[in-house]
């Protein structure tokens, strides 16, 4: 509820231009950031001049006074935290590391002095450990160690009973969480996000996560070796955003997977189900893994699904269920046992499909449908012999195909771009016209892009139009280039030809 109110208030301020989106672009891998316009920033600085302390190159600005907020700008020298010892009224301490270099060691007694902190942000500081005195910050609401080199947190963190956000994203060296994490009863966001391309497992997960009833964000969860029972702890948590469940090989009973109740978590939009890439750690046969995977069915509004190192011989039945009407990204990798793909072409909004590691899969000629697919990646399939055909209404939106590690296919290391797929489709279309392959390499980049765009427009008008196949339309597109014809004239001829095609199509349908 508080996040919703906060979001609404922020959006109101954004609409009134108190904030503007940062010029740095944001993507699925980064968080969008906002800045204040110069006038608003100067006004804010003027109003807070008696409360804001800036420490830059170990110099305090202003040098005297008691302050509530401090910003530490780190450029090259180690930060002298001791200069803050007398700031006993501090509520916010934020480190801004512009250099990316380590800030040095945090003194053990720093937090004994600054015990009224509400927010502590040491992200990207390069620190490797947090002093045990952090447990004295009983008023702390927000703690960020994002992008640091910490391997573990001190057990005293369990004393931070007012903590609402613990941010540990991009902490690739993190091995475990404090055993007393379940004492953080007000915790709402446990952010353990890593780049999914470089995901790492925690060595273990503290017990009692189910006691954190206010928890909304849990980016990663590791199934323990103690019979996988801890997966049940997810049952009553109302999680949002992304969830990566690791070490699924530790599940010994499908009922534990069912008790996780993923089907009811309809606020999760990105889900990763990950087994370890180690066959010796598997505790069940390949037939039983399908039963476990069937019980891990997510809710139908999921947008992104990764299933990695899947050890079963068949994928779960729900994977190709048309009720998953919102899913846009699917990535599958599996062991040597899996020989058949589910009919993913039935998923109406699937845009990106990545398949790899299916050692026994021999053909993909049964892949059909895919009304929205834009990119297709096939990787590391040593016995794959046949590929799908791009004909009729199959793959109407496909833009790119990348194939690698498939030695039995004619072209084992290729990346088909949109124009390759376009020609494949056109050559299968029954138009009474001479279509000749052209070499666009001799054209400048701008003209080439324009030609491909015009081709795409033409494709949209032609594919699936049986009326044009009659001899009412006799039009030959001459793809030619010569030294005495300019690119501009060439483009104009193509454009005119395509416009005529589309007009004729419209005329035929109207009559």
pLDDT at 368: 84
Least confident stretch, 20-24, 38-42, 481-485, 504-508: 481-485
Residue 252 in contact with residue 236, Cβ under 8 Å?
A: no
* Strand-pair partners of 245: 221, 273
pLDDT single digits (tens) 250-303: 888 888 899 999 999 999 999 999 998 876 556 555 568 889 999 999 999 999
Please tell me which of 269-273, 354-358, 368-372, 420-424 the model is most confident about, judged by mean pLDDT: 269-273
Q: How far apart, in whole angstroms, are the C-alpha atoms of residue 468 and residue 272?
A: 46
Residue 249 in contact with residue 281, Cβ under 8 Å?
A: yes
Which is nearest to 377 in space by CA: 396, 353, 345?
A: 353
Pairing of strands 92-97, 142-144: unpaired
Which is nearest to 172 in space by CA: 155, 195, 154, 140?
A: 195
Which is nearest to 381 in space by CA: 409, 351, 358?
A: 358
Residue given tokens 């503007």 in the structure block: 20
pLDDT at 415: 56
Residue 377 in contact with residue 350, Cβ under 8 Å?
A: no
Residue-averaged pLDDT of the chain: 79
Residue given tokens 């390759």 in the structure block: 420
Q: How far apart, in whole angstroms, are the C-alpha atoms of residue 227 and residue 262?
A: 19
On the question of pLDDT at 446 being above 90, the answer is: no
* Mean local confidence (pLDDT), 363-387: 86
Backbone φ/ψ region at 380: left (φ over 0), alpha (ψ -120 to 50), beta: left
On the question of pLDDT at 74 being above 60, the answer is: yes
Q: Which residues of 280-317 are buried (b: 16+ CB within 10 A; e: fewer)?
A: eebebebebbbebbbbbbbbeebebbbbbbbbbbbbbe
Higher pLDDT: 235 or 438? It is 235
Residue 352 in contact with residue 374, Cβ under 8 Å?
A: yes
pLDDT at 467: 38
Pairing of strands 329-334, 304-310: parallel
- For residue 421, give the H/E element and its range: helix 418-428
* Mean local confidence (pLDDT), 234-240: 93
pLDDT band at 199 (very low <50, low <70, confident <90, very high): confident
Residue given tokens 């999760």 in the structure block: 268
pLDDT at 162: 96
* Mean local confidence (pLDDT), 9-31: 76
* Mean local confidence (pLDDT), 402-426: 62
What secondary structure letter does DSSP report for 43?
Answer: H
Residue given tokens 């309809």 in the structure block: 266
- For 46, the token pair is 């003027």
Residue given tokens 């509520």 in the structure block: 91
pLDDT single digits (tens) 103-135: 778 898 999 999 999 999 999 888 889 999 999
Residue 70 in contact with residue 84, Cβ under 8 Å?
A: yes
- For 84, the token pair is 């803050």
Q: How far apart, in whole angstroms, are the C-alpha atoms of residue 164 and residue 189?
A: 6
In order, the DSSP letters of 209-240 are GGG-TT--EE-EEE--TTTTGGGGGGTT----
Backbone φ/ψ region at 100: left (φ over 0), alpha (ψ -120 to 50), beta: left
**Angle in degrees, CA 457, 461, 467, rounded to 5:** 160
Which residues are within 8 A (CB) of 466 and not within 5 positions of it... i.e. 6 or more apart?
none
CB atoms within 10 A of CB 51: 15
Q: Provide the sign of the torsion angle of the four alpha carbons 124, 129, 133, 137, taken in this order.
A: positive
pTM comes to 0.79
Q: How far apart, in whole angstroms, are the C-alpha atoms of residue 315 and residue 313?
A: 7
Q: How far apart, in whole angstroms, are the C-alpha atoms of residue 474 and residue 431?
A: 9
Pairing of strands 119-121, 52-56: unpaired
Higher pLDDT: 424 or 381? It is 381
Look at residue 81 and give its three-state secondary structure.
helix
pLDDT at 27: 53
* Mean local confidence (pLDDT), 41-65: 84
Q: Which sequence spans correspond to the domains of the chain?
A: 1-35, 432-510
Look at residue 52 and give its three-state secondary structure.
strand
SS3 string of 251-275?
A: CCCHHHHHHCCHHHCCCEEEEEEEC
Residue given tokens 């508080």 in the structure block: 2
* Mean local confidence (pLDDT), 213-228: 86
On the question of pLDDT at 493 being above 60, the answer is: no
On the question of pLDDT at 497 being above 80, the answer is: no
Residues in the chain: 511
pLDDT single digits (tens) 318-356: 987 888 889 999 999 986 778 888 889 889 999 999 999
Least confident stretch, 27-36, 59-68, 178-187, 445-454: 445-454
Instruction: Please give the C-alpha separations between residue 481 and each of 356, 423, 440, in angstroms, as whole numbers.
Output: 41, 18, 10
Q: How far apart, in whole angstroms, are the C-alpha atoms of residue 256 and residue 489?
A: 68
Residue 382 in contact with residue 409, Cβ under 8 Å?
A: no
- For 511, the token pair is 């009559």
């Amino acid at each position: 509820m508080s996040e919703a109110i906060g979001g609404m208030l922020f959006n109101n301020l954004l609409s009134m231009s108190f904030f503007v989106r940062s010029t740095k672009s944001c993507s699925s891998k980064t968080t969008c950031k906002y800045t204040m316009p110069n006038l608003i920033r100067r006004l804010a600085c003027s109003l807070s001049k008696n409360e804001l302390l800036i420490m830059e190159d170990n110099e305090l600005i202003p040098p005297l006074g008691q302050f509530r907020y401090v910003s530490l700008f780190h450029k090259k020298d180690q930060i002298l935290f001791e200069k803050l010892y007398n700031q006993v009224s501090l509520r916010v301490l934020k480190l801004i590391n512009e250099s990316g270099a380590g800030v040095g060691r945090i003194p053990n007694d720093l937090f004994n002095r600054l015990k009224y902190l509400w927010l502590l942000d040491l992200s990207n500081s390069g620190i490797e450990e947090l002093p045990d005195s952090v447990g004295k910050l009983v008023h702390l609401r927000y703690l960020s160690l994002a992008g640091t080199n910490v391997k573990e947190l001190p057990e005293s963190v369990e004393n931070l009973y007012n903590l609402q956000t613990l941010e540990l994203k991009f902490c690739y060296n993190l091995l475990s969480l404090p055993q007393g994490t379940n004492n953080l009863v007000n915790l709402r966001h446990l952010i353990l996000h890593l780049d999914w391309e470089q995901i790492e497992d925690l060595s273990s997960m503290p017990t009692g996560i189910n006691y954190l009833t206010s928890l909304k964000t849990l980016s990663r969860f590791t199934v323990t070796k103690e019979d996988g029972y801890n997966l049940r702890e997810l049952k009553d948590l109302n999680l949002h955003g992304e969830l990566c469940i690791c070490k699924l090989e530790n599940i010994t009973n499908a009922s534990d997977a069912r008790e996780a109740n993923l089907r009811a978590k309809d606020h999760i939009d990105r889900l990763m189900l990950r087994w370890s890439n180690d066959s010796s750690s598997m505790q069940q046969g390949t037939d039983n893994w399908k039963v476990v995977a069937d019980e891990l069915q997510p809710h139908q509004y999921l947008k992104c699904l990764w299933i990695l190192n899947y050890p079963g011989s068949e994928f779960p039945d729900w994977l190709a269920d048309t009720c998953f009407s919102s899913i846009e990204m699917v990535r599958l990798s599996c062991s040597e046992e899996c020989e058949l793909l589910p009919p993913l072409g039935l998923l109406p909004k699937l845009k990106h499909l990545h398949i790899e590691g299916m050692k026994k899969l021999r053909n993909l000629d049964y892949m059909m449908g895919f009304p929205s697919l834009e990119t297709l990646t096939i990787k590391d399939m040593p016995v794959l012999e046949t590929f799908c055909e791009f004909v009729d209404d199959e793959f109407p939106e496909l833009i790119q195909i990348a194939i690698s590690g498939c030695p039995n296919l004619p072209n084992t290391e290729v990346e088909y771009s949109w124009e390759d797929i376009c020609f494949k489709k056109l050559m299968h279309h029954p138009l009474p016209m001479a279509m000749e392959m052209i070499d666009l390499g001799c054209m400048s980049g701008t003209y080439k892009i324009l030609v491909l765009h015009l081709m795409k427009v033409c494709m949209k008008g032609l594919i699936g139009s049986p009326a044009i196949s009659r001899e009412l339309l006799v039009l030959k597109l001459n793809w030619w280039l010569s030294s005495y014809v300019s690119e501009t004239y060439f483009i104009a001829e193509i454009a005119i030809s395509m416009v005529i095609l589309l007009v004729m199509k419209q005329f035929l349908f109207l009559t």
